[in-house]
Amino acid sequence: MTSYWNAFRVIFLRDIILASRYRAELANPLIFFIMVIVLFPFAFGSDPDLLRRVTAGMIWITALLASSLSLEGIFRSDYADGSAEQMVLSGYPLTLLVAAKIAAHWCLTGLPLIIIAMLTAYLLSLPTQALQALFLTLFLGTPVLSLIGAIAVALTVGLRSGGMLLSLIILPLYMPILIFSMLAVENAMADIPFDAELYFLSGMLVLSVTLAPIATAYSLRIRMS
């Protein structure tokens, strides 16, 4: 168990260190998120009530697209330099190594997106209960985006038109997360309990954590064979 934990830690820290060396690529999804959020008020006008109503959907759609922009980076460099093949051939479970890379991706993209999203929602005067619902949905939903996206990335890594194919695969799978997250925030703004939506997102997270690394590992083996 100690050696497995060390392998997980090494892969996790390796991805964090590599990402810190390419800060421009790491910042691209965050810059995209900020730019889209800034442009939304110009499209909808300066009516505070209208902005509060569309803030949750605006933030979630933008976060979803921003997260999608960074997905290809999970395995792209590993495929290019042969590290992915070494992971497949190593004596450690590929599922464990893949899980470490997904965790690093969420820490590099999901956590910063949550922080920026909450600051944006606060500046747009979202009610306190809605802020709480938004934070919980982002905290539960963004890891699912990384986990589901990793499966599609492993299937399309190295393909010439992988980016377009990746979008076609993941966007329909992201729709339930987006719908239930927006419903939770809308219910919170209307002072309606949103426990059911949180239970759904929690179930999606547990299911994704359990199955997504396995599916990603099998997909990566297929691409390496």
pLDDT score for 46:
66
Number of domains in the chain: 1
Phi, then psi, of 168 in degrees rounded to 5: -65, -30
Is residue 206 very low, low, confident or very high in pLDDT (cuts 50, 70, 90)? Answer: very high
Smallest CA-to-CA distance from 197 within 114, 146, 140 is with 140
Asked if 201 and 144 touch (Cβ cutoff 8 Å), the reply is yes
pLDDT score for 204:
94
- Maximal CA-CA distance, the chain: 59
Asked if 41 and 51 touch (Cβ cutoff 8 Å), the reply is yes
Percent of the chain scored above 70 by pLDDT? 95
The predicted model gives 12-23 an average pLDDT of 84
Domain that holds residue 172: 2-224
